[in-house]
Amino acid sequence: MTDQDPKSRSGSSRRDFLRGSSLAAATAVLTGPAQVALDEATGAEPEVKVLTGEVSLTLKVNGEEKTCKVEPRSTLLDTLRHRLDITGPKRVCDRASCGACTAIVDGVPVYSCTTLAVTCTGKTIETLESFGTDANSVPHAFHQADGLMCGYCTPGFVTACKAFLDKNPNPTLDEVKKGLDGNICRCGTYMGVLEAALAAAKAMKGA
Amino acid sequence: MPWPENPKLIGTRIPRLDGMIKATGKAKYPSDEHPEGMLFGVMLYSPVPHAKIKTLDLKPAEAMPGVKAVIGIVKEGGLVRYHGDDIAAVAAETEEQARDAVRAIKVEYEILPHVATEPQAMADGAPEVVRGGNVKKGRATSVGDADAGLAKADAVVEMTLNVPVITHVCLETHGLTARWDSKEKITAWASTQAVGATAAELAGRFNIPVGDVTVLTEVMGGGFGSKFGADVWGIAAAELAQKAGKPVKMFLDRVQEHLAGGNRPSATAKVKMGATKDGKISGMIAETYGTGGISRGAQFPLPYVYAVADNKRTHSDVFLNGGNARAMRAPGHPQGCLIMESVVDELADKLGMDPMEFRLKNLAPNDFRTGIYEAQVAIGAEEIGWKNRKARGQSSKGPIKTGYGMALHQWGGGAAPDKQVTCIINPDGSVEVRSATQDIGTGARTILAIIAAELLGLKVTDIKSNIGNSTFPPGQASGGSTTTPSMSPPCFAAVSAARDALFKKIAPGLNAEPGDLSLADGKVLVKGEAKLDWKDACRKLGMMPINELGKFEEGLSSVGVAGCQFAEVSVDIETGVVTLKKIVAVQDSGLIIDKLTWESQVYGGVIGGLNYGRFEERVMDPTTGVMLNADMELYKLAGASDMPVIVVKAYETPEMKARGVIGIGEPPTIGTAAAIGNAVANAIGVRVANWPMTPINVLNALASAKS
């Protein structure tokens, strides 16, 4: 069994995770209906202590060390947007369904809306504001192919696309579709997005 | 004055002006704004579908850490009428604190009985959402003699079709960031489709002159018809800001966005339609209803597109405890289209006639669109390979069935003839066009710049297209495909006037008459010969910029389009899964200004229609009255892997271009779901009467056909 297995008994159970005092950050999130439901389900009086204090945090974002105060429950997305004024990543679904908040943490694209900021200390965080903008860049390809309309999903698509192409420099159209399936656009710009991704792959090779 | 005969820029593929700032994350959306000292606003909304607010105690929230202002929106004794209805609002130093404070507000609800679905709302003795009953009958319409028309039919079909409520799912939720610049002056960064109307709403609510309200919408994250004002939450943000003495940002969370941010009403139609052997529709009787939640708005056009000389119809709006309907991309038309086109398809099958041929036989004889449809259908049929279509249910033997379907649609649009644009030519050579319109992702900003650049012989990137500011000359709201036809003529007029004023100023210095001058490639020409660089010409203005206001002119824009769409699908009859293989959209919209953003609009419309046809559905729980899928995982929208091949064909003949500019936002989203439904029926040999074309709806249709 791996720790990816939801039925694993070897690691922390969900309840242990929620109740563990060392993981107070997670419990602090559950002060509303979810906590009530949990207490009802277990028949227990609430044992958890709600943390509302702020902690000082240093994050390495786009090559710069940035310090701010956040609550342990603050997400990476909200920390970037509200505390550090890095507003490229967008809050859309706020629960890891749409990809608009995508940031690259230690080289891996993550949904920053469901990543706690306190788990990102010591890691390298990249948002699309740091990407190149020359003729071989992903943003340039999106612009030229009109892979955006209102543009609110675009930061997530551009970031996911960059992370995908860094690992898959010669993708087929089907691979691009699968690679970008974690993102949703409401204006319906997928045709331009797919064209942009293929064009960027081609341009990056030529660079 | 006509559009240029041989344009250099108009009609070409020009990347949008704000594309790079959007693609680099540098564009500041209203929800990205963070004025100094800003507080975070959070709404408290009803967790129940219908209740009287017995008590509302805001004090516990006021005592919470970081809280600077709390306001009640509904009063004690007042009602909440749907899951998501507004109750109170909080502003605090951090969003986390504001959320905690909202949870601390004490509300005692006297739960009232609810109706959350149409059958519940229409049942005998159902609790009333509005006085006088939940079913509000509209005026019955009757043309000719429907019964006589049906009596002479050689084939008659009768069927009931349903399409559910869907929500707008704007990616940037509704909201604004409000800052009082003084006691009687406010700036709001609003995610809106109408900066002017939003400013007027704020001015009215706070009783200040509209000139002291500045609404800014540089960019915004999608509206689709649902964002035409400040709304309860926008007013709440401004009130909280006033109370706290600090700016407040208030954007809905994803759940309330689904619940309260607007929706497209459902439609149910019981239709009886007949045709004679020669393939002419002879009569139609339709009884229809739909729900816009606590509001009206569920009316839709029927009959649609086709000529039905003898028809009658009744329609009712059904009220229930759900968020109120708002305009959504081509309001009413997608519902009318998928209902009409399904019945037309069934009738063609029953007559044993090719449904394309049947459609062409029933176009309105005296409508300008008829010839356009005929030409478009020929193009679309060729592109999709209609000749490969087999008769209904005659697909291959295995479990994977393939099929083809089509649909026609139409839209009006047209211009509001009272909008204005200013063109400023500065002595440094920079050029600005200004208007209080906005770009909601459609490319409006770029279109104004293209027009200016075309007339001034400059590059599009030389033009500053300054919109999204309510203090500029009045511009069109972004809705109904009216923005481009409303704004292009005054832009043309303003830039033409500015150019002529420039000519008048500089002609004497060139020993020429103003009429001898022209502009091309960044140069001023005298009698066709380049004499002066643009910048040098502008320098001759000295200290005084040219500033010309343009108003609407006739003859540059028009109204009314036709379009057709074709779909090729495969359906697995064991699992009910529909796979789209190809969609073809043929669309006219008069003179196209920017082919690139035009195509994006058509692709986007098709994909919106694809979502409507295959995935979208607001699911209400009859027992609790709450929306079960107010999120983005169970409220399904297409992703990249769901994309079929999509072919977009502009129907842009010289006659079409001569009509002038027409909007393109609505038309291409109308026919897609209808075409998909018809393709599914063609593939599996059974009509799926309930949208969307999900596995369960497909399997149910197959099962009921067997039994």
Distance between CA atoms of residues B559 and B682, nearest Å? 34
Which residues of chain A have a CB within 8 Å of the CB of B599?
Answer: 146
3-state secondary structure of B256: helix
What is the mean pLDDT of the segment spanning B495-507? Answer: 98
Name the minimum distance, in Å, from the CA of A72 to any CA of chain B. Answer: 11
Which residues of chain B have a CB within 8 Å of the CB of A151?
Answer: 18, 22-23, 27, 219, 221, 441
What is the mean pLDDT of the segment spanning B248-266? Answer: 98
> What's the pLDDT band for B43 if we cut at 50, 70, 90?
very high
Q: Which two tokens stand for residue A121?
A: 């200390």
What is the mean pLDDT of the segment spanning B386-412? Answer: 94
Distance between CA atoms of residues B371 and B365, nearest Å? 9
Give the H/E segment covering residue B409.
Answer: strand B400-411
State whether B600 and A149 contact (CB < 8 Å).
Answer: yes
- Residue B691, pLDDT > 60, answer yes
Give residue B395's pLDDT: 81
> Percent of chain B at pLDDT above 70?
100
- Residue A37, pLDDT > 60, answer no
pLDDT tens per residue, range B84-121: 999 999 999 999 999 999 999 999 999 999 999 999 99
Best residue of A87, A133, A146 to probe chain B, by most B CBs closer than 10 Å: A146
pLDDT tens per residue, range B335-373: 999 999 999 999 999 999 999 999 999 999 999 999 999
What is the mean pLDDT of the segment spanning B36-51? Answer: 98
Question: Order of strands, edge to edge, in the sheet holding B421-425?
Answer: B463-466, B431-434, B421-425, B546-550
Give residue A28's pLDDT: 42
Helices (H), chain A: 14-19, 24-29, 33-42, 76-78, 138-144, 154-167, 173-179, 190-206
> What's the pLDDT band for A4 if we cut at 50, 70, 90?
very low
Name the residue with higher pLDDT: A95 or A206. A95
Best residue of A150, A159, A162, A176 to probe chain B, by most B CBs closer than 10 Å: A150
pTM, two decimal places: 0.94
- Residue A15, pLDDT > 50, answer no
When mean pLDDT is compared across A15-19, B579-583, B597-601, the lowest value belongs to A15-19
When mean pLDDT is compared across B183-197, B262-276, B325-339, B387-401, the lowest value belongs to B387-401
β B578-587/B645-650 pair status: parallel
* Residue pairs between chains A and B whose CB atoms are closer than 8 Å: 179
What are the Cα distances from residue B62, in Å, to B59, B71, B76, B106?
5, 10, 18, 11
Q: Are B414 and B430 in contact (CB under 8 A)?
A: no
Name the minimum distance, in Å, from the CA of B301 to any CA of chain A. Answer: 25
- Residue A178, pLDDT > 50, answer yes
Q: Which residues of B641-670 are buried (b: 16+ CB within 10 A; e: fewer)?
A: ebbbebbbbbbbeeebbebbbbbbbbbbbb
Which residues of chain B have a CB within 8 Å of the CB of A88?
Answer: 24-26
A66 touches chain B (CB under 8 A): no
Residues 14-43 in A contacting B (C-alpha not used; CB under 8 Å): 31-32
- Residue A38, pLDDT > 50, answer yes
State whether B103 and A31 contact (CB < 8 Å).
Answer: yes
Instruction: Mention every residue, 6+ apart, whose C-beta is less than 8 A from residue A41.
Output: none
Distance between CA atoms of residues A92 and A100, nearest Å? 6
A61 touches chain B (CB under 8 A): no
- Nearest chain A Cα to B25, which residue? A88
> What's the pLDDT band for A39 if we cut at 50, 70, 90?
low
Instruction: Mention every residue, 6+ apart, whose C-beta is less than 8 A from residue A9.
Output: A1
Which residues of chain A have a CB within 8 Å of the CB of B29?
Answer: 87, 90, 152
Distance, CA of B391 to chain centre: 35
Average pLDDT for chain B:
97
Distance between CA atoms of residues B584 and B592, nearest Å? 19
A73 touches chain B (CB under 8 A): yes
> What's the pLDDT band for B396 if we cut at 50, 70, 90?
confident
